[in-house]
A and B are shown apart, each in its own frame.
Chain A
C-alpha cells in the first residue's frame, strides 16, 4: 500500500438493514412539518420538522437503531482525533421531499457529527451533494470536465433507502431535487462530543441576557 493517509476520512456510509418505520416518520412530518415557505433550507415543497420538540431519537422504537449507530459515531470521532469522553444527541428531525422538493446548501455548525439516514429514498429520488473540498487547490491543473469530479463544485453521493451517512458538521451539503412521484424521507441527527470535566455546568455559567442598547449607531 503506497497511499499515505495525510488527512482523515471525512464521510462514512453504512446501510441499516432492519430499516425504519416509514409510517411513523410520515405521521411525525404530518404533525410537525414546516413547509418550505417557512424553512430556510427546504425548497420547492420540501418539509422539515427541524426545531420541533418531538425529536425522533426520543422514540422508544429508535432504540435498536441508536444502539447500532453508537460504535459508528465513535469511529468517526476517533478518526477525526476529537478529544471526548462523552457524546450526546443535540437534536434530530425529519425532512420530506415530494417531487421537485430539495434541501438548499447548508452546514450543521460547529463541533458536530451529522448523521443522515435515508428512511425512504425512491429510485431517482435525488442524491446528496457535498461541496467539493479543496477544489480551489486544483485550479492550476488542467481539468477533466466531468460532473462530480474533484474539479467540479459539488460531489454527488449516491444514496439508497436505509443508507446512513456520517460526516462533520462543517461540510456544506445539499440535496438534488426529487424527480419521482414518491416522497423522499430523510432523518437527521446532530451529535456533539465533549470532555465532561472540561465543560462548565449550567450553574457555573454567568449568563447575560441580550440587551438591545449596545449597538453601534449607524453612520449617516
Chain B
C-alpha cells in the first residue's frame, strides 16, 4: 500500500439492517414539521421544534448499535474525549422536488444522518468539495462530482447511516420520486 494516510477518514457509511418504523417519524412531522431555514420546495423539518427523536424508547437498539461507530470517528479524528452526548435530533421530509439547502452543523463534533426512507431516485446527499481551491491550477476533468467540481455526491439507500464532522458543508439533491424521503439526524458533542 503506497498511499500515505495524510488526512484522517472524514466519513463513514454503514447500513442499519433492522431498519426503522417510519410511522412515528411521519407523525412527528405532521405534529411539528416546519419549513425551517434550510428546507426548500416542500421540504419539512422538526429541527428546533422541541421534540428530540433520540429520546424515543424504540430507538434504544439503534443508539446502542451506533455507539461504537461514534467512538471510531472520535478516535480517528484524535479528539481528546472522555464522554459524549447527543445535543439534538430531528427528522426531515422531502416530497417530490423537495431538498435541503447547503448548511453545516456548526460546532457539532459528530453528525449522523440516517436515511430511514430513501425512495429510488429520491436524491443523494452532496458534500462541498472543501479542497477544490487547492486543485485550481491543475487541468481539470469536467466531470460532475470529481474533486474539481463544487460538490461530491454520496449515493445512499434506505437504512444507510452517514457519520461525518459538523464542519463539512452539505446539501440534499431534490427528490425526483413520488414517494417521500425521510432523514433522521443526530448531533453529537464530545468532551
Residues of chain A touching chain B, judged by Cβ–Cβ distance below 8 Å, are: 2-4, 6-14, 72, 80-84, 109-111, 130, 133-134, 137-138, 140-146, 149-151, 155, 157, 165, 168, 170, 193-195, 198
Contacts and interface: CB of A to CB of B under 8 A. Distances in A.
A82 B141 contact: yes
B8 interface: yes
Interface string B1-18: 011101111111110000
A11 B162 CA distance: 26
A150 B9 CA distance: 11
A165 B138 CA distance: 19
Nearest to A198: B139
Contacts of B141: 81-83
Contacts of A10: 4, 6-7
B4 A11 contact: yes
Given A2-B14, A7-B147, A193-B138, A13 B78 contact: no
Contact of B167 (A7, A109, A140, A170): A140
Interface residues of B, number: 45
A168 B134 contact: yes
Contact of B162 (A4, A134, A149): A4
B139 A142 contact: no
A86 to B, nearest CB: 11
A6 B152 contact: yes
A7 B109 CA distance: 19
B10 A6 contact: yes
B109 A12 contact: no
Interface string B56-91: 000000000000010000000111110000000000
Interface of B: 2-4, 6-14, 69, 77-81, 107, 109, 127, 130-131, 134-135, 137-143, 146-148, 152, 154, 162, 164-168, 190-191
29 contacts: A2-B12, A2-B14, A3-B9, A4-B12, A4-B13, A4-B162, A6-B11, A6-B164, A9-B3, A10-B6, A80-B147, A81-B148, A110-B137, A110-B138, A130-B6, A133-B131, A137-B165, A138-B165, A140-B107, A141-B79, A144-B78, A145-B80, A149-B78, A150-B78, A157-B4, A168-B135, A170-B137, A193-B138, A198-B139
Contacts of A142: 79-81, 190-191
Given A3-B9, A6-B127, A146-B78, A82 B165 contact: no
Interface-centre pick from B12, B107, B147 (highest chain A CB count, 10 A): B147
Nearest to B148: A81
A111 B190 contact: no
A80 B148 CA distance: 9
B124 to A, nearest CB: 12
